[in-house]
């Protein structure tokens, strides 16, 4: 009996020792095994939320999630990781399939110019007026319509006046009164040749001629046959065809942009192949109260080829400008909030950037702010990328709809 008990106790001791040895081995293995990385312990760490926003009003930030006060949608979270890689990510294959082209700004010398309407006007320095200096009547009118061409010294009208008849009678009397009568006839507008004709004829004439002072065209006719006249009556206005101006109409901002001196090229609409050139244009120091434009005058040599009043197309050119930063007009996205360009960052992401535009030069436009010469921008297909950005905002909204809706505070 004692022997059986001792044998049983011996088996228990051996079994206990075996269990202890297995535990010791297990603990040792666990100590020697490498510690798993934190990423395996916590597979996905929650990104830090910077703020919440409405994709339709991204400039307004909220510190809590919830429904948007502007639209019927949930606010979208803005994560720190997303902020570090701001912009639109597009794979190279999609860039190629959409035909998106990347360009760089061009720096070159340009000459500002504007296309404005112009008109041929008479040179005020070559205008003349024929006016009555006596009381009487127009008995014969040689010029019957405005626009009629006349030569210097040609008869414009023949008038009857008692004052002229009296002066002729005094002239024919001779002696001392003849000299005074001759001077009176000159003051009444009678030419010296007509006065000599009266002396040769030896008798007075019922009507005497009034002659054109210059060669040109009649721009205004003030009388008709049978009209009564007085010393303040306009007979006709004349404009010389040997001198004419071309006046182009510019806004004050265009004048500032072009600078001075100015040159211009003129063409007649619908008549290609003929061009007139003007140099050293001068501004009229008056602003039209209706159109708020200022007349720019050019003297032209071949004045007879252009009738007065002819409407022209004018290209007015200013002084050259150096080192002007230019991009294609097609690269600019115009919105109600302003102008912008899609820039390509070094990480190949596309970021819309606000720019300030200057003058347009053909198919290019000047950039005066928001862009430098080393930037790369989308020159073609930017509207497709803009649509991609809108689509991305929609996807963000779909993700945000799964968030629990809570109150938001602006």
* CATH code at position 155: 2.40.50.100
Q: Which tokens hold the place of 355?
A: 């720019």
Domain end marker among 260, 289, 319: 319
The per-residue pLDDT for 207 is 92
Would residue 409 count as lying in a domain?
Answer: no
Q: In whole angstroms, what is the distance from residue 354 CA to residue 332 CA?
A: 10
* Largest pairwise CA distance in the chain: 196
95 shares its domain with 140: no
Same structural domain, 309 and 353: no
Q: Is the pTM of this model over 0.85?
A: no
Higher pLDDT, 39 or 364: 364
> What local confidence, expressed as pLDDT, does residue 245 receive?
87
Q: Could you tell me the residue range of the domain that residue 333 belongs to?
A: 89-110+322-393
Same domain membership, residue 254 and residue 118: yes
Number of domains within the chain: 5
CA 47/CA 50 separation, integer angstroms: 9
Q: Has residue 399 been placed in a domain?
A: no
pLDDT above 80: residue 56? no
* Residue among 330, 171, 188, 304 nearest 244 (CA): 304
One domain for residues 300 and 328? no
| pLDDT, mean of residues 327-349 | 83
What is the tens place of the pLDDT at every residue in 114-127? 899 999 988 878 88
Q: Is residue 291 part of a domain?
A: yes
In a domain, 252, yes or no: yes
Domain holding 363: CATH number? 2.40.420.20
Q: Band of the pLDDT at 170, cuts 50, 70, 90?
A: confident
- Same-domain status, 204 and 228: yes
Same structural domain, 307 and 338 = no
210: closest CA among 128, 135, 133, 126? 133
User: Could you give the percent of the chain with pLDDT greater than 70?
Assistant: 76
Q: What is the CATH number of the domain that holds 289?
A: 2.40.30.170
- Same domain assignment for residues 19 and 57: no
Q: Are residues 224 and 355 both part of a single domain?
A: no
131 shares its domain with 229: yes
Average pLDDT over all residues of the chain: 78
Q: Which of 182, 211, 239 is the last residue of a domain?
A: 239
Residues 103 and 118 in one domain: no
Last residue of a domain, one of 291, 319, 347: 319
pLDDT of residue 395: 43
Confidence check: pLDDT of 210 > 90 = yes
Lowest mean pLDDT segment, chosen from 51-60, 156-165, 265-274, 371-380: 51-60
250 within a domain of the structure (yes/no): yes
Q: What is the mean pLDDT of residues 163-178?
A: 85
Nearest to 325 by CA among 363, 356, 382, 365: 365
Residue 40 forms part of a structural domain: no
Q: Judge if 311 and 379 occupy the same domain.
A: no
Q: Which residues of 183-205 are buried (b: 16+ CB within 10 A; e: fewer)?
A: ebbeebbbbeebbeebeeeeebe
Asked if the structure places residue 100 within a domain, the reply is: yes
From the number of C-beta atoms within 10 Å of its C-beta (0-12, 13-18, 19+), residue 265 rates as: middle
Residue 188 lies in a domain: yes
Residue 97 has pLDDT above 90, yes or no: no
Do 230 and 138 fall into the same domain? yes
């Amino acid at each position: 009996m004692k022997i059986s008990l001792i044998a049983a106790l011996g088996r228990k001791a051996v079994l206990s020792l075996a269990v202890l040895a297995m535990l010791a081995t297990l603990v040792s293995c666990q100590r020697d095994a490498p510690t798993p990385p934190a990423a395996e312990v916590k597979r996905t760490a929650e990104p830090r939320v910077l703020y919440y926003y409405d994709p339709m009003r991204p400039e307004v930030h909220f510190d809590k999630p919830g429904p948007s006060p502007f639209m019927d949608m949930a606010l979208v979270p803005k994560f720190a990781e997303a902020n570090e890689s701001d912009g639109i990510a597009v794979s190279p294959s999609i860039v190629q399939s959409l035909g998106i082209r990347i360009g760089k700004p061009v720096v070159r010398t340009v000459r500002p110019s504007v296309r404005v309407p112009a008109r041929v006007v008479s040179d005020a320095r070559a205008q003349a007026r024929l006016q009555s200096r006596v009381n009487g009547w127009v008995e014969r009118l040689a010029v019957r319509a405005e626009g009629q061409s006349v030569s210097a010294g040609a008869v414009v009208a023949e008038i009857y006046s008692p004052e002229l008849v009296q002066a002729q009678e005094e002239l024919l009397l001779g002696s001392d009164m003849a000299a005074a009568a001759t001077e009176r006839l000159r003051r009444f507008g009678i030419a010296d040749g007509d006065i000599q004709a009266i002396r040769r004829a030896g008798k007075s004439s019922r009507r005497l001629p009034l002659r054109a002072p210059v060669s040109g065209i009649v721009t205004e006719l003030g009388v008709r046959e049978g009209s009564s006249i007085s010393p303040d009556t306009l007979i006709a206005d004349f404009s010389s065809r040997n001198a004419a101006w071309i006046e182009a109409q510019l806004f004050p901002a265009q004048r500032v942009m072009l600078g001075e001196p100015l040159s211009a090229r003129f063409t007649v609409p619908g008549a290609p192949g003929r061009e007139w050139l003007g140099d050293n244009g001068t501004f009229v120091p008056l602003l039209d109260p209706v159109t708020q434009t200022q007349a720019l005058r050019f003297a032209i040599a071949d004045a007879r080829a252009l009738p007065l009043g002819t409407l022209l197309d004018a290209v007015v050119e200013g002084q050259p400008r150096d080192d002007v930063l230019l991009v294609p007009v097609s690269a600019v996205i115009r919105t109600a909030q302003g102008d912008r360009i899609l820039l390509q960052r070094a990480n190949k992401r596309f970021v819309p950037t606000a720019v300030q535009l200057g003058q347009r030069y053909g198919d290019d436009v000047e950039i005066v702010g928001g862009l430098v010469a080393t930037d790369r921008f989308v020159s073609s297909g930017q509207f497709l990328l803009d649509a991609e950005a809108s689509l991305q905002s929609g996807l963000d909204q779909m993700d945000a709809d799964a968030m629990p809706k809570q109150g938001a505070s602006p």
